[in-house]
A and B are shown apart, each in its own frame.
Chain A
């Protein structure tokens, strides 16, 4: 193997049903940006996207083992919280077979729990914190140099943005500064993929979000400080993708696309000037999308807008610091339905502080929005470790593991979704045994008060068709498409 680094994408959504498995293959943007930075630094990258692995039983020891075969001796792996347990176990096996490999984790999965992860799983050498472009280059170079010079142990103290193992000690290096000029970064390294396998082309127009929503894991990772790409750079990326693979549908996955009316207008202008009929989907924000902005977006080819409404109860919205009211949400959704071909709304449920009456308000809001033509995407609260809500609950609330019910974002592909319940096949028990024994590392899989908080709400949502239930798979206004990301 001649590559300097093997970079593995394990960010994926894989939902297994009794009779089929559904895989959404998204462009792995984060790892592709990292790959581009590594290549620009002169490092050779062996890029592997596990989404494209054709193994029938994807989440098995044999499949991931085979997939990692022949990797470079510097292995970088990126994953989200849902596949963190599987990733950890896979890397343990990889370490056993490759004792000299250097193994580093990155992505949002390990974010904010880097130190306890390294303490619990000694086969991982380092975890990258924050943006990967700078850190990955410095880390790869440091390890490569150390290997070349025969230094052992490797000294990584000069590598910014990592938590790493120095002997028996775990060390956190200072983060590098945020990348201020996103336009100056290379575009994702698409040439490392077979783009024909990816239907909608993921993009981001910004990094970070300034809003303090307490359940969100994204804004804290970026320090609630958004940085935006220029309209021309966004359009140039779309044009490149169009030229490379004929792409005409683009999925903006960043939370802060509608940062301001002026900026949206500028982006729409650039998109309209592309010279081909681009269609795109983006996230909106209830208090940032006025009718003129929405109209502008639709005229520039936006075919779907997705809002995080989260609750129909003013007290819950206030407590979660959403920054708008249920009435505002109804107004905007109603307008949006008349403008966009598709309007989606996320509603979050399972807040431990949300009483029955408050939940009923949300349910009624969902029903009213559905009657307008909005597609409803219910999301069970995921207590991700980066979130304020988890910080507030940690230590005071008892986290309960319910193997029959996971938040949408935490589906791993090891569960079988069967008529509104989940079952875990015997061959995947190891993953869940690991989860159950580490609530502090994998809190996203856990709930607060399953019996009184979660299940009664779940049953009501099933009753009104927002989730399937035993003997009835009919859903009203909702598909399984609730992983957060836009789908083609």
Chain B
């Protein structure tokens, strides 16, 4: 059973249009001159109400709206990100990529982004956001652990930086946040991504071999992390963190079937679920099943929904290091 990815019904074409225009001067001119044609040229869907709004706007106003748009550096305001997650774009090798779609929310971030080097990169054809703490950056010859992170719905790659940057600064690991929006639209795309995750972890970043490889998922990315970390490429990972969400399958009624294919030698798993998460019972049943299968599994149950929880990422990191294979 593959869990359906709910897609927001709310029109977000204008946000997408403005955000791309904010980052691309040539596109901005196109938007100012003819926003509807500009949207069509970039494959941005506008519904009829959006077309009406854009047709009613002056070129000067559209230009100003895009020029004043602050592409958020941080994403602490959950409600805002629900709005614009679908429209965050980044310039990678001269092209704008849509990074996210859909909305469910994000756990409450405990800190602002860190002080390390941050940049968009492409690895093996995948758009990623790289975060390298200062002390790691200072010595390129030293191995450092890597955390490959998959954002949840309604988030962007930057969400993972928000989530992990301070811990990365404190403990010296590299964070690679992978955009997986486009890949999620087809089974073939998901398969390709699962393959790619292990490659990303093992290939080394910027010529530096990783001294530890960890995989983190949030919400709807959890089935992917489970599949990569516990089923397909268990040996590629030293630990897996699942922040909410549930691996595919009916863990309550068909736990054996749901856990089919799990490796005999899986990495340790740190699993966070909220007692008000809609799939909390599934999550609990999943943990119970992992325990039955002797998977080292730390289960943190937070009060309320995972999306509203304030998590201590440093503790999670220390748990991972402690249970690293």
Task: Say whether A342 contacts B83, CB under 8 Å.
Answer: no
Can you show 7 pairs from A to B with CB atoms below 8 A apart? Answer: A330-B68, A371-B18, A373-B70, A374-B80, A460-B49, A464-B49, A475-B82
- Residues of A near B52 (CB, < 8 A) are 360
* Known contacts A476-B79, A477-B80, A477-B82; is-contact A364 B70 (Cβ 8 Å): no
- A474-B103 contact, Cβ under 8 Å, with A341-B76, A364-B54, A370-B80: yes
Binding site for A on B (CB under 8 A): 8-11, 14-15, 18-19, 49, 52-54, 56-57, 61, 64-65, 68-70, 72, 76-77, 79-80, 82-84, 87, 103
With beta carbons under 8 angstroms apart, the residue of B11, B49, B54, B83 that contacts A370 is B83
Q: How far is the CB of A478 from chain B (nearest CB, A)?
A: 7
Verify if A165 is at the interface (C-beta below 8 Å from B).
no
Residues in B whose Cβ lies below 8 Å from that of A338: 70
The verdict on A472 contacting chain B, using a C-beta distance below 8 Å, is: yes
Shortest Cβ distance from A334 into chain B, in angstroms?
Answer: 4
Question: Are the CB atoms of A373 and B9 closer together than 8 Å?
Answer: no
Q: With contacts A363-B53, A364-B53 known, is A472 near B9, CB below 8 A?
A: yes
Sample of 10 further A-B pairs with CB below 8 A, known A360-B53, A476-B10: A330-B64, A338-B70, A368-B14, A368-B65, A371-B14, A460-B49, A476-B79, A477-B79, A477-B82, A479-B79
Q: What's the minimum C-beta distance from A309 to chain B, rounded to whole angstroms?
A: 13
Contacting B at CB under 8 A, from A312-337, are 326-327, 330-331, 333-334, 337
In the assembly, what is the distance between CA of A441 and CA of B189, in Å?
63
Q: State the Cβ distance, A105 to closest chain B Cβ, in Å.
A: 38
CA of A326 to CA of B57, assembled, Å: 12
Using Cβ atoms and an 8 Å threshold, which residues of chain A touch B70? 334, 337-338, 372-373
What CA separation (Å) do A370 and B52 show in the bound complex?
A: 18
State whether the Cβ of A375 lies closer than 8 Å to any Cβ in chain B.
Answer: yes
Chain B binding surface SS class: helix
Q: Which residues of B contact A342 (CB under 8 A)?
A: 77
Closest to A332 in B: B68
Beta-carbon contact of A373 and B77 below 8 Å:
yes
For the complex, give the distance between the alpha carbons of A485 and B64 in Å.
Answer: 30
Query: In the complex, are the beta carbons of B69 and A334 less than 8 A apart?
Result: yes
Judge whether A361 and B56 touch: CB under 8 Å: yes
Q: Given the known inter-chain contacts A368-B18, A373-B72, A463-B49, please indicate yes or no for A326 contacting B61, CB distance below 8 A.
A: yes
A363 to B70, CA, bound (A): 19
Q: Is the beta-carbon distance between B79 and A367 smaller than 8 angstroms?
A: no
A473 to chain B, nearest CB (A): 12
A352 at the interface (CB under 8 A from B): no
Q: Which of B11, B57, B61 has the most CB of A within 10 A?
A: B61
Q: Which of A227-241 contact B (CB under 8 A)?
A: none
- How distant is the Cα of A326 from the Cα of B68 in the complex, in angstroms? 12
A149 to B: closest C-beta gap in Å: 60
Q: Is the CB of B82 within 8 A of A368?
A: no
**Contacts A342-B77, A474-B8 given; does A367 touch B14 at CB 8 Å:** yes
- The 5 A-B residue pairs with the shortest CB-CB distance in the complex, in nearest-first order: A334-B68, A476-B83, A368-B65, A477-B83, A371-B15
Chain B contacts for A463, CB-based, 8 A: 10-11, 49
Chain A contact residues: helix, strand, loop or mixed: helix
Assess the A464–B56 pair: CB atoms within 8 A. no
CA distance A367 to B84 in the complex (A): 10
Q: Is the beta-carbon distance between A367 and B53 smaller than 8 angstroms?
A: yes
Chain A residues near B79: list those with CB within 8 A: 375, 475-479
A357 touches B (CB below 8 Å): yes
| Residue A465 at the chain B interface, CB threshold 8 Å | yes
In the assembly, what is the distance between CA of A368 and CA of B15, in Å?
7
> Nearest Cβ distance between residue A108 and chain B, in whole angstroms?
29
With A and B bound together, what is the CA distance between A361 and B53 in angstroms? 7
Known: A330-B65, A476-B10. A371 touches B19 (CB 8 A): yes
Closest to A312 in B: B61
What is the bound-complex CA distance between A363 and B61, given in angstroms? 13
Q: Are B68 and A331 in contact (CB under 8 A)?
A: yes
Residues of A contacting B11 in the complex (Cβ-Cβ under 8 angstroms):
463-464
Q: A472 to B79, alpha carbons, bound, how many Å?
A: 15
Pick the most buried of A338, A373, A478, A479: most chain B CB atoms within 10 A of its CB.
A373
Residue of B nearest to A370 (CB): B83
Contact residues in A for B83 (Cβ distance below 8 Å): 370-371, 465, 476-477
Give A431-474 as 1s and 0s: 1 = Cβ < 8 Å from B's Cβ atoms. 00000000000000000000000000000100111000000101
Instruction: Report which of A341, A360, A472, A476 forms a contact with B82, defined as CB distance below 8 A.
Output: A476
Q: Evaluate contact between A370 and B68: CB separation under 8 angstroms.
A: no
Contact B64 A375 (CB under 8 A): no
Are A371 and B77 in contact, CB atoms less than 8 angstroms apart? no
Contact A357 B56 (CB under 8 A): yes
Chain B residue numbers with a CB within 8 Å of A371 are 14-15, 18-19, 69, 83-84, 87
A474→B64 contact, CB < 8 A: no
Point out the residues of chain A lying under 8 angstroms from B56, CB to CB.
357, 360-361, 364
Q: In the assembled complex, which residues on chain B have CB atoms less than 8 Å from the CB atom of A370?
A: 15, 80, 83-84
| Complex: chain A residue closest to B104, CB-CB | A474
In the complex formed, the residue of A with least CB distance to B105 is: A474
B82 proximity list for chain A (CB < 8 A):
474-477
Please give the distance in Å from A137's CB to the nearest CB on chain B: 45
Residue of A with least CB distance to B58 = A361
On whether the beta carbons of A327 and B61 are closer than 8 Å, the reply is yes
With both chains docked as a complex, state the minimum distance between the C-beta of A366 and any C-beta of chain B, in angstroms.
Answer: 10
Highest count of chain B CB atoms <10 Å: which of A334, A363, A474: A474
Instruction: Give bound CA distance, A350 to B52, whole Å.
Output: 19
Name the B residues within 8 Å of A478 (CB-CB).
79
Option from A360, A373, A375, A464 in Cβ contact (under 8 Å) with B10:
A464
B77 to A474, Cβ gap below 8 A? no
Q: Mark A332-362, 1 if CB is under 8 A from B, else 0.
A: 0110011001100000000000000100110
- In chain A between 372 and 419, which residues have their CB closer than 8 angstroms to a CB of chain B? 372-375
Q: How far is the CA of A240 from the CA of B87 in the complex (A)?
A: 46
* B18 contact set on A, CB distance < 8 A: 368, 371
Chain B nearest CB: distance from A209 CB in Å? 27
- Interchain CA distance A367-B103 in the complex, whole Å: 17
